[in-house]
Structure 1
Amino acid sequence: RALVPGATSLVRSTAMSPGGDSDLALLDFEGVALRTELDHHLCLKGYCVLDSSLEEDVLDDAVDDAVALKRAGRFQPPPQEIVEGFLGPEGSREYTWLTATDSEDYADGERLKAVVEQLNSVATDAAVHCGYLGQLRCSKAAVLRGGETNDEIVEMSEQDCSMWLQTFTTAKLMVIFFLGPGEGTLELQPFDDESGAVVITSRSGRIVVLRADMLQHRHVSTIDDYTVVCWITAAISVGARGWNEIGAPNMPVAKELLEWMKERLKVIASLEVEGKLDDSVPRAWMQLAHQSYFRHEKNPIAIRGDAGHMPGQWDPSVFWQSVNHGVDYVSEIPYMRWDHGEYYDPTPDSWMESLTYRPPTFIKTTVRHGQYIDGVELFDTKFFGISVMEAKGMDPMQKHVLETSYEALFAGGYKKKDLMNNYIAVYTGCTNPEWNYIDREAGACSGTGSSQAITSNRTSFALGMMGPSSSIDCEMSSSAVALMVGAAAVATTNSRRTESGGNCSASIVGGVYMSFTPFMWPRFNAWMNPKGRCFTFDENANGYVRGECCASVCLKPFAEKVDGEFVVPDMHTLGCMTGWRMVSNGRAASLTTPHGPAIQECLHDAVKDASVNLLDIDSIECHGSGGLLDDSIEASAVAAVLRGQKGGENETLVLGSVKANTGAQCEACGIASMLKVIYNIAYACNAPLINLKTLNPHIELGEGAIVFNTESVAFRGRSVFSGVSTRGLGGTM
């Protein structure tokens, strides 16, 4: 009877009646003939029954060897979760692993060794000729003692679960060698439950090879009977991203183990919260628990929508794809902004000779490169109900923030009518507009049109939102601080605010910087690179070039509390913010110099706030502004705090910075880095760090597994934790 669904006989019928004779005798077949017959029966029926070529006295002595192992205390009852993977509840009372027969330490009995060698020989023949199942390998052999499982509860450890789950998930064939001495019955039943069962008589010297990934197998025997088994498993395939691709398990025992693993991860997460978790839990399980569950008091903040007017395109996803291909967006100053030839002087100290900073008087700079976005003059006045006269007096940064804010809210599930009188917060990282430093017509609305505070307030007004509204200026960390404040506005961690109904239903967080004049360039020339690029983490690092960006994200709680229980809404989520921290340099070497201990404290506390382990962090999007000293301090501090501990040499940490592609986008640095990280996670890939040829010699990485990826590299797993680090000129990070 063919048990494998869809199997048909094209050669001859070999149907076997229950309890009938064997299909093959090892005395009659060997080599290619044996492999051919095995292949035929496995394809036809899903199993093959063979008679051993070992003498009867050898088999009797093998039973005596198994009994000796029992007396030596080697046998142990299996955990209940894996009984079905062995030979069922009536044939898997106890088991023990056997030492490899080619080991110098083998001492399990010479007759039992002969049985295992024949078992391995049959397994090898089945594996070699069943190559259509993929690359196969044979597991260790185990001796099973028959009879019903006892009532003793055996606790399964995390290590055992990992081992058995890998075995049963990848098992293709199972080879069973019945030692006896008594007889029993082996029942084979397809997983699909559409075909009838086949019952095979088990007796001393009988071998059964079966498709473990298609047939349920149960053996009925007594406590005096012994069986030797092994599995032929497929090598875990590695996908294009380097991940293990096991696929959905077929065997019921594998599904049961997966359920046990999920429940165990929940227990591990609970014990960690209660402070009762010991050190016996494997590192991989701790990491998986952190990736699977969050603490109730640390409800993650979900990024539900995003929008950006980025260099080259107005789509953050397309922007990331270009960064992933290593696009360099820095160029010479476009003439559409200003004629930079009037201000550029390659003499190294020319910027120090500037008499004033007000064009068109004497302004000089050694830098002639930057990164600029297209369409700064475009704006949809009608959609936002703004008159043409008022729009003429508006700073372009206000216009673009207004557009990206609505686009992000729309992506987060809001329509224009939903926003009116809604308690939604608005936070924008921006600075005093350069719009104030250029010659233009002063209209009736020029006061509000060029105010830094109004940049956020106008978004709230135009869309009718009544939540907190504030513009934040911390230099290059402005939008990162706005992200943190925006996340805090919707977080449910403040019980008093939650009880009083003060939480915002959502927050729209943005960052914007646009350059319209070289007015400020002499002031920042000391930090800018005359070569016109950000050589982040490179030995040629000598400063940054300025870049433009306007981007916004819509933040909401990841889970909503309904009737006292957390419920995750069915909404699109780009990523989640799980922890954050803001500090200042304090009393460092100077006001503008990075402070290593402050960076370490900020990172450590952010990871602690996320309730994860330092080794769980997979990548950090660094500030990386291209300064020789600044980069070395930051990279060394990150390496010390995240990988300067036991196990740090085994856990890869990727460091990168988008500023190598775009320059320093000033107050929009944090939001630009966040968007890169979001799409790194969405595409499961670390975008490369360009302009890195030789590593900054001042960077001290210690023994940690630190990677500066100069090409696109996949994450080490399907779920990751990534960090974003930014720092303002005055030390806010």
Structure 2
Amino acid sequence: MAFLPGMLVQIQGLNEKVLPLAGREAQGTAPMDLNGMRAQLVQYDRAVRKWIAATFNGQMLAIEQQFLRALGPEELKGYDFVMGPKSDYNLSGQAITESLATKGYAVVKLLVADEDEAQMLAAARRLDEQGEFSRLAVEFERGYLGLDSSAKTVHLGLNSPDPPDFVRQSPFKTMDDNFGQLCSMLGSYTEESLGFEIYSRTDLLLRMQLADGEEEDYPPADVDDGDAEGFMHLMYRKRLAAMQFVGPAEGSLKLVSTQGGPDVELAAEPHTMLLILSSRWDFCYEPEGQSLVLQTFFLAAPAVYTMLEVHGVDEVLSLATGPTGEQISIDGMYCRYGMASEGRAQFWSGAGKASCDGLTAVPQNRWDNSLYFDSDQTAGGTYCNHGCFGIEGVDLFDCRFFEVSPMEAKLMDPVQRQVLEVSYSALLEAGYDKNALQRKATNIGHFVGIDKDDWMVMAAAGDINLGGACGAAAAANSITANRFSYLMNLKGASMTIDTACSSSLVCSHVSKLHLRAKDFDPMTASIVNGINLMLHPGPFIACSAAGMLSHAGRCFTFNSTADGYARGELCGALCFALKQFEPQTGSICCLAGSQANQDGRSASLTAPNGPAQEKCIKAVLREAGLTPSEVDIFECHGTGTALGDPIEVGSFKKVMSATPRAEPLSITSSKSNIAHAEGGAGLAGFFKCCLQVSQCEASPNVHLKVKNPHIDMEGFPCHMLSESLCTRQDDAYAGVSSFGFGGTNAHAEAWGRNIMNSRGNTHTDPVKHFEQKLRSAPPPQITMNGDDVRDWETTGLAPEVQFGERYKVHLDEDGATTCEKIDEELEDFGDEFSLRGSFSDWDLEPLDRHESIPGLWTTTFLIGDSGEEEFQIVADEDEEKVYYPKNPHCTSKVQPVQGPGVAPDTDHAWLVRGRPGDTFRIEFFQQGPRRSVLWLRESQ
């Protein structure tokens, strides 16, 4: 008989014990008696003329063919399939699905090594010792654990950074991957054979039986309506339950038919897996001792709902969009950025519309770069000849306006000069005037982010003389923020912050914290400034020595040619205030949330850390009350480095793919326009976010031709933009990340409405407001009638919803919702109809059924002396079945018809105007959910 890889065999006839392959180099590993062992053939080793085989207990062996015997089907009773390293995935998936279709369950033998079992048990015990195991809510135990079962459990999301290293490095990761492969294997066959498609699966669940005396140590978890709703929908989506028995104890499992058939008793042996079709069986698991079980559910797709129409009172729908709670409004913005941008309008024209590149060769009025240019890096110079010198006349300063003497101004660091002018411009736009501030002090804060000071280096090198009475404050970093507060008479917190490239975005976060801290002397507003000036060639030389700069002198963010960043200079400022977003009073947008954290001890002091970046983004989403799918635009740190860009994209991809997206995420980076402004870069990115949300438009990246092959975006819906793109709605969220090379990370989210162009909708969109109200609504009320979820009742959307079903969602003034299924065949729209109105003192007058047009009812009435009359339609003379317009005193014939229901009042009526004595014909059409009201003048 021919032997083939994947064949199941039995070993027999050996006269001596054999050492496993994995133990040939190990000390103290004893040979094994293999006679009678069953195994799967993996491959034939022609060099030694032996078969490599994997035994049913997971050992790898080399055996001569003469000692092998093929196993017949009758010798594998108790197993529907044996899954090993050479199992064919297509054959496995087909065979398991056939067993599920025939019996409703499948028993699969797994080839798991004893060492892997021991490591999983040890890891589970360690998790238990660390307090990770807990007991489910009693109401949830039947759904997760089966009939009459209780256990201590823990969910492990092994693809997230949450589990500890000893868990991710244990065989649990392999077993979790096996469940994922099984999900893919079965997914090709379940729709045709079982009538459903596998959409996803749950995280790995570890369950261990409660030992004697452990009941008090593991009290059942509490449950609220939100938990109950999530569990209820999960159970209705559950199609298959997969249980892998690890051991060490054996057990039994009873399948209880949900269709009235006989029960089935199965053995729960270690290293076997049981797949159960949830529509046909409940199960009851009884271990004979301490035993670990791995479990997951294969799920159908969640229901997707489409809003068809919205009716109701305007007051119920009135909901302020944007961040909830106290908002941080941005009332002033000013910048001097690359592309000759003096102010936000010019910056948006260059970055958002014209896709400008603001980088140039080093200007001669800064320094003669030819003296330092060293393309081959042989003389210790710089190989870079370009940068974004965004501020022309950086040495100029209006000292008289700020009441600074010419002698002091001459010594002042240009950084201080720019901060004074730009911060004041932002403060002025927010409504604060210098003269008024100097007359009366105001508790406004000032925060400046900067990470280097060329002026001080030039002074130390002897290039400039800072001697004299004013020299001490001329180049001190602390004075950069303090001088503005002093000159403007501002009493709020004033500080300069240096966390390297994240400095200015960290300033925004610190500013927010000061605004929210109202216990003592609260601040009314704050100015945040981010600045970087390039006055000296030293940083170019140092960065070139480290190989950090782009050889082509551009930031090729996300592009395949990215090999380093380009340096840029800029100065920008924002004015923040603790108030609700109000465009009418000057609000531009809002700071929806911000956070800062640190990498801690990572690969090296300067290496970026993906998990820390993810944690920072997640914290902002929690603060803003957002799901990842609600974020429209992501402004990346995006310096254009071969290492940094892929790490950043990988970190935010993990966060942003946590919830399914209806529209792709737009990914942008201002550094492709204005280069990397180092300490001022974070605020520049947030500045651009503010412009994008106030325009509801994502700006393009420059120099993006071929995507960096190290950036993995597979399976994640996003656009790395090379042209501008409008957002999905007339309000948007945009976030920016910024990372200091010392490990300080920051992230901030901006929210705003389109208030800058003609696309903005000045009228309230009831559908959009209703959807936002639904998202913020409390969970529905769940009535848990016993432990069988099929007997539970909910005021929310039914978990067993079918495609094409329609629901009414009622929203009360407190924001609570109740859902009611619409049965169009049973819904009572009325059989006979009447008219009531001001012309009849609101008494009912019957409508006449049209002779030839089904569903059309008509009548006439006269206009009285007032020249106007109002009316409503009443079905079956029932006050609870009134048809009326959405708006009171409605003169529009296209206004949606409300009802049948109780009318709010007689003001919600159609208004007809005409001359006294005019006759009007009313036409009311009603056919199922379709209805319309029309009035026509017949005579004068």
Amino acid at match of 2:524: S
Pairing partner for 1:470 from 495, 502, 509: 495
For the pair 1:537 / 2:542, whether they are aligned, the reply is: no
Cross-structure match for 1:507: 526
Measure how far apart 1:679 and its partner are: 1.1
Task: Say whether the 8 Å CA contact 1:432–1:451 is kept in structure 2.
Answer: no
Pairing partner for 1:310 from 337, 342, 353: 337
Task: Say whether the 8 Å CA contact 1:580–1:606 is kept in structure 2.
Answer: yes
Pairing partner for 2:362 from 333, 337, 347: 333
Pairing partner for 2:347 from 319, 337, 351: 319
Cross-structure match for 1:458: 483
For the pair 1:368 / 2:385, whether they are aligned, the reply is: yes
3-state SS of the aligned residue for 1:522?
Answer: helix
Distance 1:569 1:638, change over 3 A: closer
For the pair 1:257 / 2:312, whether they are aligned, the reply is: yes
3-state SS of the aligned residue for 2:442?
Answer: coil
Residues in 1 aligned to 2:655 and 2:413: alpha-carbon distance in whole angstroms: 42
Cross-structure match for 1:583: 597
Amino acid at match of 2:466: A
Residues in 1 aligned to 2:309 and 2:655: alpha-carbon distance in whole angstroms: 35
Structure number having the greater strand percentage: 2
3-state SS of the aligned residue for 1:582?
Answer: strand
| Matching of residues 268-279 of structure 1 within 5 Å | none
For the pair 1:527 / 2:548, whether they are aligned, the reply is: yes
Residues in 1 aligned to 2:669 and 2:387: alpha-carbon distance in whole angstroms: 17
Residues in 1 aligned to 2:344 and 2:322: alpha-carbon distance in whole angstroms: 28
Residues in 2 aligned to 1:714 and 1:426: alpha-carbon distance in whole angstroms: 34
Amino acid at match of 1:386: V
Amino acid at match of 1:714: C
For the pair 1:487 / 2:512, whether they are aligned, the reply is: yes
Measure how far apart 1:633 and its partner are: 0.7
Residues in 2 aligned to 1:638 and 1:602: alpha-carbon distance in whole angstroms: 10
Pairing partner for 2:373 from 337, 344, 366: 344
Measure how far apart 1:614 and its partner are: 1.6
Cross-structure match for 2:934: none
Cross-structure match for 2:434: 416
Cross-structure match for 1:162: 307
- Structure 1, residues 404-454: CA drift from partner, whole Å, max 9, x if none? 111111100111133232111110001342012331233421221111110
Pairing partner for 2:673 from 654, 661, 666: 661
Measure how far apart 1:683 and its partner are: 1.9
For the pair 1:718 / 2:694, whether they are aligned, the reply is: no
Runs (5+) with no aligned partner, structure 1: 1-157, 166-255, 267-290, 355-363, 560-566
Amino acid at match of 2:465: E
| Matching of residues 242-253 of structure 1 within 5 Å | none
Distance 1:259 1:382, change over 3 A: same
Measure how far apart 1:585 and its partner are: 1.5
* TM score, norm. by length of structure 1: 0.57
- Structure 1, residues 222-265: CA drift from partner, whole Å, max 9, x if none? xxxxxxxxxxxxxxxxxxxxxxxxxxxxxxxxxx53727616xx
Measure how far apart 1:504 and its partner are: 0.6
Residues in 2 aligned to 1:714 and 1:732: alpha-carbon distance in whole angstroms: 32
For the pair 1:295 / 2:315, whether they are aligned, the reply is: no
Residues in 2 aligned to 1:458 and 1:478: alpha-carbon distance in whole angstroms: 19
For the pair 1:677 / 2:706, whether they are aligned, the reply is: no
Task: Say whether the 8 Å CA contact 1:640–1:702 is kept in structure 2.
Answer: no
Residues in 1 aligned to 2:635 and 2:571: alpha-carbon distance in whole angstroms: 19
Residues in 2 aligned to 1:435 and 1:305: alpha-carbon distance in whole angstroms: 29
Identity across aligned pairs (percent)? 31
Measure how far apart 1:568 and its partner are: 5.9
Residues in 2 aligned to 1:698 and 1:456: alpha-carbon distance in whole angstroms: 40
Equivalent residue pairs, number: 431
Distance 1:432 1:705, change over 3 A: closer
Residues in 2 aligned to 1:578 and 1:712: alpha-carbon distance in whole angstroms: 23
| Matching of residues 106-121 of structure 1 within 5 Å | none
Residues in 2 aligned to 1:672 and 1:336: alpha-carbon distance in whole angstroms: 25
Pairing partner for 1:609 from 605, 623, 647: 623
Task: Say whether the 8 Å CA contact 1:558–1:576 is kept in structure 2.
Answer: no
Distance 1:394 1:293, change over 3 A: closer
3-state SS of the aligned residue for 2:504?
Answer: helix
Measure how far apart 1:639 and its partner are: 1.3
Cross-structure match for 2:713: 701
Amino acid at match of 1:321: S
Amino acid at match of 1:718: D
* TM score, norm. by length of structure 2: 0.45
Task: Say whether the 8 Å CA contact 2:451–2:678 is kept in structure 1.
Answer: no
Cross-structure match for 2:457: 437
Residues in 2 aligned to 1:654 and 1:694: alpha-carbon distance in whole angstroms: 17
Distance 1:159 1:433, change over 3 A: closer
Residues in 2 aligned to 1:517 and 1:314: alpha-carbon distance in whole angstroms: 23
Residues in 1 aligned to 2:625 and 2:663: alpha-carbon distance in whole angstroms: 18
- Structure 1, residues 292-312: CA drift from partner, whole Å, max 9, x if none? 25433xx12111001112221
Residues in 1 aligned to 2:728 and 2:513: alpha-carbon distance in whole angstroms: 30
Cross-structure match for 1:118: none
Amino acid at match of 1:380: D
Residues in 1 aligned to 2:336 and 2:423: alpha-carbon distance in whole angstroms: 11
Runs (5+) with no aligned partner, structure 2: 1-302, 746-940
Amino acid at match of 1:671: L
Cross-structure match for 2:918: none
Measure how far apart 1:622 and its partner are: 0.5
Residues in 2 aligned to 1:385 and 1:260: alpha-carbon distance in whole angstroms: 53
Measure how far apart 1:732 and its partner are: 0.9
Amino acid at match of 1:304: D
- Structure 1, residues 375-422: CA drift from partner, whole Å, max 9, x if none? 202211111110000000000010010111111111001111332321
Cross-structure match for 2:742: 730
Residues in 1 aligned to 2:721 and 2:744: alpha-carbon distance in whole angstroms: 27
Structure number having the greater helix percentage: 1
Task: Say whether the 8 Å CA contact 1:431–1:452 is kept in structure 2.
Answer: no
Larger radius of gyration: 2
Distance 1:608 1:464, change over 3 A: same
Residues in 2 aligned to 1:310 and 1:613: alpha-carbon distance in whole angstroms: 32
Distance 1:369 1:163, change over 3 A: same
Distance 1:614 1:466, change over 3 A: same
> Cα RMSD over matched residues?
2.0
- Structure 1, residues 540-566: CA drift from partner, whole Å, max 9, x if none? 11011110101111100123xxxxxxx
Amino acid at match of 1:308: C
Amino acid at match of 1:411: E
Distance 1:640 1:419, change over 3 A: same
3-state SS of the aligned residue for 2:334?
Answer: strand
Task: Say whether the 8 Å CA contact 1:309–1:551 is kept in structure 2.
Answer: yes
TM superposition outliers: structure 1 runs of 4+ over 6 Å: 158-161
Residues in 2 aligned to 1:313 and 1:294: alpha-carbon distance in whole angstroms: 30
For the pair 1:642 / 2:656, whether they are aligned, the reply is: yes
Task: Say whether the 8 Å CA contact 1:639–1:706 is kept in structure 2.
Answer: no
Residues in 2 aligned to 1:666 and 1:160: alpha-carbon distance in whole angstroms: 45
Amino acid at match of 2:372: Y
Residues in 1 aligned to 2:427 and 2:660: alpha-carbon distance in whole angstroms: 42
